[in-house]
Chains A and B, each alone.
Chain A
Amino acid sequence: MIKGYAGRILEVNLSRRSFEYKPLDEETARLYIGGKGYGTRLLYDRTEAGIDALGPDNPLIFATGPLNGSAAPQTNRFAVVCKSPLTGGIGNAACGGSFAYGLKKAGVDLVIVMGVSEKPVRLLIDGDRDAVEFIDASELWGKGTYETQEILGKKKYHAVIGPAGENQVLYAGIVSNERIAGRTGVGAVMGSKRLKAVTAQGSRKLDMEDPEKFKEYTREVRRIFREHPVLGDSLKRFGTAGIVNTTNARNIIPTRNFQRGSHPEAYKLSGEYMEDHELKGIKSSCIHCPVTCGRDVEVEGKGRVKGPEYETVALLGTNLDVTDLKRVSEWNYQADDLGMDTISLGATLGFAMELQEKGLANFGLHFGDVKGIGQAIEDIGHRRGDGNELADGTRKLAQKYGGMDFAPHVKGLELSAYDPRGSFAQGVEYATTNRGGCHVQGASMYMESVGPLTINPQNLRLKADLPVLQQNLACAINSMVLCYFTTYGMVPKAVHDMPADSFARKAISTAMEFSGPMMGLAMRRKGNAMIWYEKWLRYITGAPMSSGHLQEIGERIFNLERMYNLREGLSASDDTLPRRILEESTFDHMESGHPLHLLLPKYYKKRGWDAQGVPKPETLQRLGVRV
């Protein structure tokens, strides 16, 4: 068996209360690595088109990668793959916490959960006994994610849902410790199966091709990360909310349902403000991660809990015209305990507020008014009253009440907190990413509007090339199930140290902007392993690995996801942005919004797709995508 893998997949059937271990397919592992790559392959192969996402035939797949369980930093994450009840297309999400570690200790690469339990149930995967216990979870049903994990045991490795998942809120997530696999409604799928929790345990060790080289190199990478201005400093000090002042200044922080890109008081939601004020707290992290990007805050009545991330302070903050950090922290706690994606939650509440403002609906929610928001979040989690409608997300709300022009979603998945009118490549990503309006399956905005080396975000140069390369890389990284923050280390410290107006920084940025074809050639070259992704995989699995290999693997996964979506009835008409984003300008030098119509045809061409966005047969053949 290829090293780095346990060599087995666990298949569980909740209807029959049965389980079976099956061998991991090595060829699939070589082609798709693990995580969402392998998971998507299984989903495509095991399901027919048109299944009910909340029915028994939708497999809920938990997937690890070959680095999970190793000592490499930022590598203990798991992926969840299923058909999304929110979008109707590919659903996937990833999460830190500790569950991935537990799965690897249990000697399991992937878990496929099929069927529906008659009553609430939880699973205990015991790798040492090769057993799976089906344990009645009736007494846990209804409890929040914090209490559930407390009862199950804090020192153990769990993946749980809260009331939001139980009630099949379409943007419910799956929680491990204080992290959440939030997007696309994976928690609703788990709830539809009446599966409350999965616990994994065991004492298996990870097998490697070259453990000595791995150990030596990992020591070097830890040093690089420790000394890096982002991974070793700013993320540790300010958390992800350290980006607030940058996105605000660059006019891309969503404000009042994406009506604007800045808020005069946004700094009160920033990581720096959090560090300075009464919400300063102890930092938290995923298991074995040295970055500690999480921070604890004090919430009245609850004590010390995990504090809000950037997406939360933006979408539950400026997006609602609220800059009260205490309130946003309370709502974050509520959402985490209920087990909900704060991105979709915040975007849905913002949309509801604009519907209210325009007289199209009456949810009693108003921009700038904190009153009623906490209750709305509870009601959503329990699908009570208006919460029942709000639990279905912006697309369904717009279908009922109108306002589709300003409903902030793509393919049904709510946009994350980077307004693409100030970041054109990010807009192309939003429109084309297979799971919908997502920023972590590419994150081009870092190279356009936020990071130390940025290209002009509002011309057309590189705006079709960059998303392709970024999406491919993200697919590969997500399939290894590493933390995407490891990409921050790819911009060396020396660049961060350059003054903002230095000739060197401007020269590099300009060169990047004109480098489209060269960049593609460089990244697709199959040479030696240069950076940690490639080296870790090489030392663990023994397979030759380079930037070009990762691009090819990522491209393969991206195209398979695309084929899944096409099979489920999505099409090029879903590769779009909300009309507000396309037509309303938030910059005084622009007459309109995002020029997607100019970039999408170029993007399709670079992908090797036809004009209708369908992968050409020669593209699928080149990549070895079997459909």
Chain B
Amino acid sequence: MGVNVELTYEMGKLLGEHHFELQDVHSVAEVLDAVRARFGDRGERLTELSRHAAVAVNGVLVNYKKGKRTRLQDGDRVSFVKASAGG
């Protein structure tokens, strides 16, 4: 089962890729672990960058679902998202 992961711009820049697919993940918690593993020894910087990033599944913040325990389906889009301002 695969999900699409989208990082914030700064996270993507650090990792060298802005979005990628993950296999065999069934919850948001597992995605977070997998992303951390992908960053490897840049984990401290990842912690810094993700401090202000919420997580959304298919556009909906996981706060409005079951938080990190939110279950995922095949093809879901998991996004790290920062608050911002525009016009």
Contact among B4, B52, B84, B85 with A500 in the assembled complex (CB-CB below 8 Å): B52
**Cβ-defined contact, B56 with A235, below 8 A:** no
- Looking across the interface, which residue of chain B has its beta carbon closest to that of A500? B54
Give complex CA distance A350, B74 in Å.
30
- Is A587 part of the contact surface with B, judged by Cβ < 8 Å? yes
Contact among B9, B13, B87 with A293 in the assembled complex (CB-CB below 8 Å): B87
**Cβ-defined contact, B77 with A262, below 8 A:** yes
Give complex CA distance A506, B8 in Å.
21
Contact among A267, A446, A586 with B9 in the assembled complex (CB-CB below 8 Å): A267
Chain B interface residue count, Cβ-Cβ cutoff 8 angstroms: 30
Give complex CA distance A273, B10 in Å.
10
Residue numbers in A under 8 Å from B64 (CB-CB): 456, 458
Give complex CA distance A484, B87 in Å.
9
**Cβ-defined contact, B12 with A267, below 8 A:** yes
- Looking across the interface, which residue of chain A has its beta carbon closest to that of B12? A267
- Is A501 part of the contact surface with B, judged by Cβ < 8 Å? yes
Residue numbers in B under 8 Å from A247 (CB-CB): 86
Residue numbers in A under 8 Å from B54 (CB-CB): 500-501
Contact among A484, A506, A586 with B63 in the assembled complex (CB-CB below 8 Å): A506
Residue numbers in A under 8 Å from B51 (CB-CB): 499-500
**Cβ-defined contact, B84 with A245, below 8 A:** yes
- Looking across the interface, which residue of chain A has its beta carbon closest to that of B9? A272
User: What is the minimal beta-carbon distance from A471 to any residue of chain B, in angstroms?
Assistant: 17
- Is B23 part of the contact surface with A, judged by Cβ < 8 Å? no
- Is A410 part of the contact surface with B, judged by Cβ < 8 Å? no
Which of A10-18, A236-244, A354-362 forms part of the interface with chain B? Answer: A236-244
Give complex CA distance A456, B4 in Å.
23
Known pairs A500-B53, A500-B54; A230 contacts B85 (CB<8 A): yes
Give complex CA distance A500, B79 in Å.
14
- Is A387 part of the contact surface with B, judged by Cβ < 8 Å? no
Contact among B8, B12, B52, B86 with A241 in the assembled complex (CB-CB below 8 Å): B86
**Cβ-defined contact, A309 with B87, below 8 A:** yes
Contact among A235, A496, A506 with B83 in the assembled complex (CB-CB below 8 Å): A496
User: What is the minimal beta-carbon distance from B69 to any residue of chain A, in angstroms?
Assistant: 13
User: What is the minimal beta-carbon distance from A591 to any residue of chain B, in angstroms?
Assistant: 15
Residue numbers in A under 8 Å from B10 (CB-CB): 272
Give complex CA distance A251, B61 in Å.
11
**Cβ-defined contact, B58 with A450, below 8 A:** no
- Is B19 part of the contact surface with A, judged by Cβ < 8 Å? yes
Contact among B52, B80, B85 with A243 in the assembled complex (CB-CB below 8 Å): B85
- Looking across the interface, which residue of chain A has its beta carbon closest to that of B78? A249
Contact among B6, B58, B79, B83 with A587 in the assembled complex (CB-CB below 8 Å): B58
- Identify which of B77, B81, B82, B84 gathers the most chain A CB atoms within 10 Å of its CB: B84
- Is A452 part of the contact surface with B, judged by Cβ < 8 Å? yes
**Cβ-defined contact, B6 with A273, below 8 A:** no
Q: Which of B37-87 contact A (CB under 8 A)?
A: 51-54, 56, 58-61, 63-64, 77, 79-87
**Cβ-defined contact, B81 with A250, below 8 A:** yes
User: What is the minimal beta-carbon distance from A254 to any residue of chain B, in angstroms?
Assistant: 13
- Is A270 part of the contact surface with B, judged by Cβ < 8 Å? yes
**Cβ-defined contact, A485 with B87, below 8 A:** yes
**Cβ-defined contact, B83 with A452, below 8 A:** yes
Residue numbers in A under 8 Å from B56 (CB-CB): 249-251
Contact among B80, B85, B87 with A249 in the assembled complex (CB-CB below 8 Å): B80
- Is A422 part of the contact surface with B, judged by Cβ < 8 Å? yes
Contact among A251, A267, A310, A456 with B86 in the assembled complex (CB-CB below 8 Å): A310
Give complex CA distance A397, B85 in Å.
33
User: What is the minimal beta-carbon distance from B71 to any residue of chain A, in angstroms?
Assistant: 13
- Is A311 part of the contact surface with B, judged by Cβ < 8 Å? yes
Known pairs A267-B9, A500-B54; A243 contacts B59 (CB<8 A): no
Give complex CA distance A310, B56 in Å.
21
Give complex CA distance A450, B61 in Å.
11
Residue numbers in B under 8 Å from A484 (CB-CB): 87
User: What is the minimal beta-carbon distance from B62 to any residue of chain A, in angstroms?
Assistant: 9
**Cβ-defined contact, B59 with A261, below 8 A:** yes
- Is A440 part of the contact surface with B, judged by Cβ < 8 Å? yes
Known pairs A243-B85, A451-B85; A499 contacts B52 (CB<8 A): yes
- Is A46 part of the contact surface with B, judged by Cβ < 8 Å? no
- By a beta-carbon cutoff of 8 Å, the part of chain B in contact with chain A is 4, 6, 8-10, 12-13, 18-19, 51-54, 56, 58-61, 63-64, 77, 79-87
